[in-house]
């Protein structure tokens, strides 16, 4: 398929939705790269949502009966895949923030992990575009983590949560240094969602572009090593996003030891 096209282009209402992105005289282009916004990432994200919904229903039916769910499946199935994913994510989170907090935030980080993993993997399937190759998608994920981090930071510590933005609070004569620390901390925290979004988007765009180039040059055998490398990128970028998100939340809710 030509660059920027996928199976979603054949939907009867695709062109109407594409035209709807041309607003305010911007010709549907983004401010950050003068790139056409399009609706591919919207269809892709919705498709991932449907896939994950089906996976969740299938996995739930397998474990709904506790007596039958004791014995695991002998091969890789939807249920075992979900169990491996959830177990791996929980183990990683538990090592960082402790079992109690990991159990509480598992639905959030786990949902991000499943969505990002499946979205990234779509780029390895001919005829599909990964929704995570658009900043419009990844910035939403980053903003959600940003909001959760500070909302639960305040919930855990109260208004005292904002004290750490000033660094060590000493005496009045350290006020200039404390104000400098405040500026640095604010920049650091506001850059986090953008960093999460840009890192994920840039790696998926690069990986998808490399695979597409090799497919265009030699569609048989030669692209296989690049696709294997792409599988590693898909997994690693999912892990990096979830790992950093867990660290950010853990730092916000952690209590100082005296």
Report d(CA 181, CA 257) in Å as an integer: 22
CA-CA distance, 166 to 182, in Å (whole number)?
5
Give me the pLDDT at residue 153, please: 94
pLDDT for position 22: 61
Q: pLDDT digit of tens for each residue in the chain (258 aa)?
A: 666 678 888 888 778 777 776 654 444 555 455 556 678 888 999 999 999 999 999 999 888 877 777 777 778 888 899 999 999 999 999 999 999 999 999 999 999 999 999 999 998 887 888 999 888 899 999 999 999 999 999 999 898 888 888 877 666 667 788 888 889 999 999 999 999 999 999 999 888 777 777 776 766 666 677 778 888 999 999 999 999 999 999 999 987 654
The CA-CA-CA angle for residues 76, 82, 85, to 5°, reads 105
Nearest Cα to Cα of residue 81 among 61, 104, 56: 56
What pLDDT was estimated at residue 258? 40
Tokens of 41: 């990432």
Which pLDDT score is estimated for 24?
43
d(Cα 107, Cα 18) in Å, to the nearest integer?
Answer: 33
Read off the pTM: 0.87
Is 233 within 8 Å of 205 (Cβ atoms)?
no
């Amino acid at each position: 398929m030509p660059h920027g096209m996928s199976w979603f282009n054949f939907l009867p209402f695709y062109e109407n939705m594409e035209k709807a992105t041309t607003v305010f005289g911007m010709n549907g282009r983004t401010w950050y790269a003068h790139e056409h916004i399009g609706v591919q990432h919207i269809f892709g994200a919705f498709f991932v949502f449907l896939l994950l919904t089906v996976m969740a229903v299938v996995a739930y039916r397998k474990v709904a009966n506790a007596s039958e769910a004791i014995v695991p499946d002998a091969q890789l199935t939807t249920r075992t895949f979900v169990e491996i994913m959830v177990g791996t994510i929980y183990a990683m989170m538990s090592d960082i923030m402790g079992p109690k907090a990991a159990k509480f935030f598992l639905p959030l980080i786990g949902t991000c992990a499943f969505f990002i993993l499946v979205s990234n993997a779509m780029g390895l399937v001919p005829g599909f575009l990964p929704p995570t190759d658009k900043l419009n998608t990844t910035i939403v994920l980053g903003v959600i983590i940003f909001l959760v981090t500070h909302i639960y930071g305040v919930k855990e510590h109260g208004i005292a949560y904002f004290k750490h933005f000033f660094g060590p609070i000493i005496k009045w004569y350290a006020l200039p240094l404390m104000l400098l620390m405040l500026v640095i901390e604010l920049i650091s925290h506001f850059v986090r969602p953008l960093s999460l979004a840009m890192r994920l988007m840039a790696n998926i765009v690069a990986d998808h572009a490399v695979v597409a180039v090799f497919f265009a040059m030699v569609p048989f055998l030669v692209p296989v090593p690049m696709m294997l490398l792409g599988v590693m990128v898909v997994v690693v970028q999912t892990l990096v996003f979830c790992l950093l998100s867990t660290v950010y939340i853990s730092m916000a809710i952690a209590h100082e030891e005296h």
